Structure 1
Amino acid sequence: MAHARAALRCALDQLGYTGDAPDDAVLAVSELVANALEHAPGPYEVRLRWAAAGLICEVMDGDPCIPAIPSLLSVGLFEPAPDKRGGGLDALLEVLSERGRGLQIVHQLTSGAWGFSTERGKRTKVAWVMIPEGWAADR
């Protein structure tokens, strides 16, 4: 995973992306790579490609199934849910769980500009994030 982060950061630097945007993109892609490593048979591949709206970073893995997308919050990522207050130790552990937040993080970091796709007849899926062209300083 560290190799994917370093390679993406280097590519974004070379393309002129500056400020916080590369950090957000690298973190979002890191979450997608972590999901590929944990949930799909290897190997995975990270690709960059240009689109009309900007740069798309894709993470392709060997699992053609698109995961169930959690209900994405419109409020802050770690704000307590009213129905999770009280309930003792089990409720507290569920709220503090590190699992299940990766796609929420991707959603927050990309302002919703992410998703999944599959190619007909191939046993792969692609998780992608959009890196808007406006994030590059000299484009």
Structure 2
Amino acid sequence: MPETETEPWEYSLSIPHDPRAVTVCRRTLRLILTLHGLIRFADTAELLAAELVANAVLHTKGPATLRVRWSAGVLRIGAWDANPQPPDPPGELANLMDAEEGRGLALVQACADVWGWHPLSRCGNRGKYVWCELGVA
């Protein structure tokens, strides 16, 4: 039986440096949201998670982590990677429609209520955490 939407929860999925990790993360996220009765977020959340994880896999050489948290009516999706460099600022999505790459953070910015990043250490390794939120009032 799904928990009520008021109970907070958090999941972390450690992923290897492998392009197949994007699909694993998307499917895992959909399952988590379905089991928690939050299927209404699934399509947008999958897109956002895929972009964040794809950036982590594409722009780094090490492992990454997908983190999903529900608290106070807000779904936060984030990806940690080992590269401490800040992400490139997103361009205007309208200007990137025909681009073959470089749309990831522009999609995140367009689809999420808020997004951001900050440097982060994990298990003694430096890196960054790029996050976005859905459901912000």
Whichever residue aligns with residue 115 of structure 2, its letter is W
Identity of aligned residues (%): 34
Cα RMSD over matched residues? 2.4
CA distance in 1, matches of 2:70, 2:125: 22
Greater than 3 Å deviation, 4+ residue runs: 50-53
- CA deviation map 1:1-21 (0-9, x unaligned): 1101011111111111133x2
Q: Give SS of 1:7's match.
A: helix
Q: Give SS of 2:77's match.
A: strand
Structure number with bigger Rg: 1
Give the conservation status (yes or no) of the 8 Å contact 1:64–1:122: no
CA distance in 2, matches of 1:133, 1:106: 15
> How far off its partner does 1:133 sit?
7.1
CA distance in 2, matches of 1:129, 1:9: 16
| TM-score for both structures, normalised by structure 1 | 0.70
Q: How many residues align?
A: 114
> How far off its partner does 1:95 sit?
6.6
| TM-score for both structures, normalised by structure 2 | 0.71
Relative CO higher for 1 or 2, CA cutoff 8 Å, sep ≥ 6?
1
1:67 matched to 2:87? The reply is yes
The structure where strand makes up a greater share of residues is 2
Give the conservation status (yes or no) of the 8 Å contact 2:82–2:125: no
**Correspondence for 1:107:** 109
Stretches of structure 2 that go unaligned for 5 or more consecutive residues are 1-21
CA distance in 2, matches of 1:34, 1:95: 18
The structure where helix makes up a greater share of residues is 1
**Correspondence for 2:3:** none
